Chains A and B, each alone.
Chain A
Amino acid sequence: MTEMVYGTVRTRTGEPILPRWWRTVDRWTIVCIFALFGIGLLLGLAASAPLAEKHSFAPTHYVERQALFGAMGLTAMILLSMLPPEAIRRLATLGFVAAFVALALLPIFGQDFGKGATRWYSLGFATLQPSEFLKPVYVVFCAWLIAASSEVSGPPGKTVTLALTGVVVGLLAIQPDFGQSALILFSWGVMYFVAGAPMFFLIALAFAVLGAGMLAYNSSEHFARRIDGFLSTEVDPTTQLGYAANAIREGGFLGVGIGEGAVKWSLPDAHTDFIIAVAAEEFGLLLVLVIIGLYFTVVFRSLARLIVERDPFVRLAGCGLVSIFAVQAMINMGVAVRLLPAKGMTLPFVSYGGSSLLAGGITLGMLLALTQKRPQGAIRDAFRGGAL
């Protein structure tokens, strides 16, 4: 009777969103990402002050902007991490179309800000780098196609994505942005590898990348200068690399102290590409190892989760996303320690940069969504009896 009058008590059919999210999401990764962002803000306080001073801004101008973009990026991450994989796939496909168009139109509408590469759209209050946003959605889109190709009568996903990768890399190379090109190629290679690529093909691919690199070296002044700078045995201390290496040496194990570093005054990109040098100089090897540890924790947690994943799409997209995240971090730090030639690549979540932070949030949000704990049909296997 009561029910007839007042209606039935509203009951949920499924599990509430937040508890389910909290239960299934990889909380370690979230903690690591927040820690990285916190470190980034801390370093930004030191590293971006000289630049702010140069442009007559308040000393904390860039830190405030980074906090704002970071909040946006982290929000995007949390929101995306609540979505089911199917929704991620749909959004990423739409996002890929948008980012691809944006990338293709860069030569017409883009800005180069005097840095010798047309990579940005100017939006007035901020600049937007489409290639940053392209990376995660490209990975998810390709993962979808490759996963589908493994089904009986599936589309030829591997071939299609290879062609697509060629087009994207070509668009990036004409900016020129060889770092992002390498990243895109690498992430495709990882997905193809995990999807069961023949070893022979992977080796051939490695040679092809080498050949393309040589071609770029011979035809692009921009590229050749950086490789030359890397290959010369004596590092010139007046180059960015020299300053970065010297800063790491100055820092030693415990650093010269907060705000005491000198490299940020010499390096124009101290707050972006060479933030790790600032970290090493002011806080020493200790903080650098903490940062590396945080990145590796994220990578390790994700891979450990993906290794038991049943769904090929989730597996591929997950390892693609985690590899662009990890490789970007590795390239950035590898440049600072001269393991790699100089590349304009940010350190995810630590470097200053609106596009980088937002895109990083999207990447990690998608990764978290894909690595949520889900039933993996292990019981079904048990019933299937003797299968594999």
Chain B
Amino acid sequence: MPTPKALRDAIGRDLKPTRPLPRPMLRALTLAPIAAAIVIGLPALHAFRGDMGVIGFVRAWGFSIAQTTGGLVIIALALRESIPGRTLAAGTVTTTVVGGLALPMVMVVLTSSRFDIGPGAGRGLVEGVACFKTSALAAVPAVIVAAILAARAFPLRPGIAGGLYGLGAGLMADAGLRLYCDYSVPSHVLFAHGGAVAASMVAGAFVATAVARARP
């Protein structure tokens, strides 16, 4: 079947050598410096958690590095989702979202020695909001860079791609936050830390949808 002349002319006018995008994991590694800056910078700017000596190097730094790596892998999945024909299966998306949202709680269960450390009486909301804000703001640069990387591809389901890179960015931010906040009461971890990760995920979905609508 020959190419219609109008289509051939339109393609010919715009045709020039094009370099394909690198693989999703390689592109996700662009965010590694941001991830490192969050994990080191967040506790360095505020204060390191009081029980660093008690939980030890591996349970503090090791688990934060693992969580950051998990965040990068989720961003790589989002970038893969942004390529036509490589969209993720529903089961993979569900598992990733559920696992990602549960991760802050899992980290506390795995690393804390006791689960009754929390804000003083009447300080729960203030401390919760502080943790939420710190974590959500720390995720913003990663969300922006991931949004640019995804927009360079062609996400056919922008809400899903954006939600995933928002989730990954949120986990990276929480990996830094857990080196600063040593509260282990479930309500604080669930609402302040988990809530910030969820908010980052929702923000990512909104950003990706808005970018997709602006696309010509």
Task: Indicate whether A and B interact.
Answer: no
